[in-house]
Chain A
């Protein structure tokens, strides 16, 4: 074969090299990134589930799924020298990456045409689902309300979190100002020029209880003396994985701006609802007024009041395990009264708040006995309450549309092939 008869190679168009920005956009919107993200989600869920046994639900949710990064302590000792800790991307970071990947890959890079309309809608629904999670995490709050029959309340309290409340009585009202728990652990000085005193928080303890000081032992925290001479101190307790079982506490030192007089009190966040709603703050005098400092579960005021009219529980035969339980409540709102029946999967929804029937008490084994029983509702305020449901419908519609269009295209192509003339 000579050169004159050699076949001429086909001409391949040469693409100009992609710019760095284009390559970045391609990478961000790539299927590869989507697969890696899903893979890490799987690993994170597996690791979080294992860690929950030791750390509890609250800590795992916070450290694994609401974080950017997590160091997963596997508990596996390597050669008796160190414990294997594996760094992983946190759930927050993964969801952020997934959101960007969805938007870039599934909505910007994809060709906007009628044939892709189903895919676009599906990706839009998925992005909406992630936005709903973001809004819930940052703009929702949840707590509980526990009521005996006949009792009425218009407040709900957090399961987990505490706050410092500065209280002052003003006629029939209470004036209050609060500081969230997250700002209390670093021994902050609360120095507000509008107040006639400063408050220094110290010895923050996640789980503790007040005890009386005896003569035969010393403690490494301040001992606060009552007028009777009795000494009281805060005793650190082992922190429980179930965060709702921990009762935080701290010391508060109040310094009067005018006189310089100091008084120290113990704050302890125990909550005895529904048996006793009254709070007993550390009380002091300043500027001729009586003030109180209280460490309490974060407390929210509802825009309406709820009264438990009736609680009903039936047990499995011969046991104290409830078969079902439900509550009848009356809602008081602007002078109007309305009755509701709350039971499993049938919550009360009102003014942005959802009341779920979640528990009851006194539980067997506690020092109290029922009847009378009390009913416990989990109350959530979530602006994106309905968004996941709406997103699911959007995703469903997008997928259906895509499959139907695909089916039509397939059928049309089959008919077209069947009508072509046979080539001879």
Chain B
């Protein structure tokens, strides 16, 4: 007030001289670099690798599955055979030099640090195409400051330079580590920045052929898809959680989840009208579009051909667009392929197969998703067997909640308060594994067996489930953190998977709806039951 009235005059203080060491400053960076924002298209990152943290890809070994990446785990995996085993790749976020980091690993096993000469004498193996030091440590592992776990092994590959380190680390029971050692080394060799992983070294024959996600998978920001080797994974960005280039003619395909506004029809008409200069679709025309599978739900398939004008503004003749639009107006997901019409038409079947294979990181691959291969032999899109496998549910819905409309994976979906959402879902996988995924969403460590056993019980589906109650920062599929959130998940194991009721909202709103949520869960039943 005083400033605007002119009573207090804002002026710089007298000049002060300080050493550059006291004020470490990077002049000359643009806004994206300063704030760590990634390019929407990912292309700038490719031209200037130092500008942002580009994505990485790897040929995931058979018997492993992708887990949710985090700031310090750009690639993250679990081993099916050992739920406690974890393996992750870290790039660029490490400090202190290679020897210091290796000695930190030794410290986690209560071992004395090694000297530089011993470090130099360690064996070397391939990591991202360059020699890296291989470290193997056996003993009692103490991670996260918790209780020591006896009989553990750490396998670590550390490469790069002291200022720009990369590490691949597997921590598991010693028996698991011994069994997975070769796969671990092959995984290290397959990791690539951005483009397609080197898959020829992966999937040794020892792995069971029926293991989920066997073979090469593209891991993006919170999503995984099975794409053919002819699709080259590109760095992800805020608006491209999965991103591929196809061929050399400029075709591209990408998944966008959660960052879209304006509603489904408006987005489709942006493609049709703004980018192809054609007449916008009416509500009726949009409703009549054919449906295909995307992220386990139904999505409208849009097909456009003509002169294309993209973000760079330059017109391109005889282009085509294939787009799948799913979810709801408030929570949309799209998969879009744009390129020369000939390429897009040739990739049409592959596009639909890739769409059916997309799942959130940590979720098992859809049983119906046929793994896509080369375009010429691409299978037909997966039948809607997911719906057939998902039995509908019924529950007493509080009158205060507003129906949002179900998607394939979110049933009895309702909104409450300003931002809250509640729905029923079912997923394949073990209870502990799924609880770990939800803990990860709230940026919290996975629960151990004792913590799971201590969870509060919640009646549901005529039996008893457990109730997970977490508060803190929520990171959804789009990776955007939301502070002050609360997540309630009532979950019950059923057969090979789990059925769960999930409520997410601000702490205040969830607290208000807690009792209603408990009743919603308690009255949940299968319609055939």
Among the 9-residue stretches A39-47, A168-176, A383-391, A406-414, the one with 4 or more Cβ atoms under 8 Å from chain B is: A168-176
Verify A176–B11 contact, CB threshold 8 A: no
Among the 9-residue stretches B24-32, B394-402, B514-522, the one with 4 or more Cβ atoms under 8 Å from chain A is: B24-32
Count residues of B near A (Cβ-Cβ below 8 Å): 65
**Nearest chain B residue, comparing its CB with the CB of A189:** B10
Among the 9-residue stretches A55-63, A74-82, A366-374, the one with 4 or more Cβ atoms under 8 Å from chain B is: A366-374
**Nearest chain B residue, comparing its CB with the CB of A238:** B484
Question: B145 at the A/B interface (Cβ < 8 Å)?
Answer: yes
Verify A280–B33 contact, CB threshold 8 A: yes
- Could you say which residues of chain B place their CB within 8 Å of the CB of A210? 31, 35, 37
CB distance from B312 to the nearest CB of A (A): 8
Verify B14–A177 contact, CB threshold 8 A: yes
* Bound CA span A230–B37, Å: 10
CB distance from B499 to the nearest CB of A (A): 27
* Bound CA span A265–B32, Å: 12
Q: A185-B3, A228-B39, A277-B24 are in contact. Are A177 and B96 (CB under 8 A)?
A: no
* Bound CA span A230–B45, Å: 12
* Bound CA span A148–B95, Å: 11
**Nearest chain A residue, comparing its CB with the CB of B260:** A216
CB distance from B207 to the nearest CB of A (A): 29
* Bound CA span A268–B4, Å: 22
Interface size class of A (residues with CB under 8 A): 35 or more
Contact with A along B101-143 (1 / 0, CB 8 A): 0001001100000000000000000000000000000000001
Contact with B along A338-379 (1 / 0, CB 8 A): 000000000000000000000000001111111110000000
- Could you say which residues of chain B place their CB within 8 Å of the CB of A192? 11-12
Contact partner, A216, options B15, B24, B266, B442, Cβ 8 Å: B266
* Bound CA span A185–B2, Å: 10
* Bound CA span A179–B13, Å: 6
Verify B18–A166 contact, CB threshold 8 A: no
* Bound CA span A174–B26, Å: 12
- Could you say which residues of chain B place their CB within 8 Å of the CB of A301? 18, 22
Question: B146 at the A/B interface (Cβ < 8 Å)?
Answer: yes
* Bound CA span A301–B8, Å: 26
CB distance from A371 to the nearest CB of B (A): 7
A394-416 contacts to B (CB < 8 Å): none
- Could you say which residues of chain B place their CB within 8 Å of the CB of A216? 260-262, 266-267, 270
* Bound CA span A178–B34, Å: 20
Among the 9-residue stretches A25-33, A86-94, A100-108, A313-321, the one with 4 or more Cβ atoms under 8 Å from chain B is: A313-321
Verify B24–A226 contact, CB threshold 8 A: no
Question: A215 at the A/B interface (Cβ < 8 Å)?
Answer: yes
- Could you say which residues of chain A place their CB within 8 Å of the CB of B289? none
Contact with B along A192-226 (1 / 0, CB 8 A): 10010000010000000011101111000000101
Verify A365–B31 contact, CB threshold 8 A: no
- Could you say which residues of chain A place their CB within 8 Å of the CB of B445? 364-365, 369
* Bound CA span A173–B17, Å: 7
Q: A172-B19, A364-B445 are in contact. Are A371 and B104 (CB under 8 A)?
A: yes
- Could you say which residues of chain B place their CB within 8 Å of the CB of A140? none
Verify A283–B107 contact, CB threshold 8 A: no
Q: A183-B3, A228-B39, A232-B32 are in contact. Are A217 and B16 (CB under 8 A)?
A: no
**Nearest chain B residue, comparing its CB with the CB of A272:** B36
* Bound CA span A114–B2, Å: 51
- Could you say which residues of chain A place their CB within 8 Å of the CB of B96? 150, 372
- Could you say which residues of chain B place their CB within 8 Å of the CB of A240? 483-484
**Nearest chain B residue, comparing its CB with the CB of A268:** B35
- Could you say which residues of chain A place their CB within 8 Å of the CB of B147? 318
Verify B10–A179 contact, CB threshold 8 A: yes
Verify A266–B31 contact, CB threshold 8 A: yes
Q: List 22 A-B contacts (CB under 8 A).
A: A167-B23, A173-B17, A175-B16, A179-B12, A179-B13, A183-B8, A186-B10, A212-B37, A215-B311, A216-B260, A216-B266, A230-B32, A238-B484, A280-B26, A283-B28, A301-B22, A313-B145, A318-B147, A365-B445, A369-B144, A371-B145, A372-B104
A residues within 8 Å of B by Cβ? 148, 150, 154-155, 166-167, 169-170, 172-179, 183-190, 192, 195, 201, 210-212, 214-217, 224, 226-228, 230, 232, 238, 240, 245, 265-266, 268, 270, 275, 277-283, 290, 292, 294, 301, 313, 315, 318, 320, 364-372
Top-7 shortest CB links A-B: A186-B3, A188-B10, A177-B12, A183-B10, A280-B34, A226-B30, A186-B4
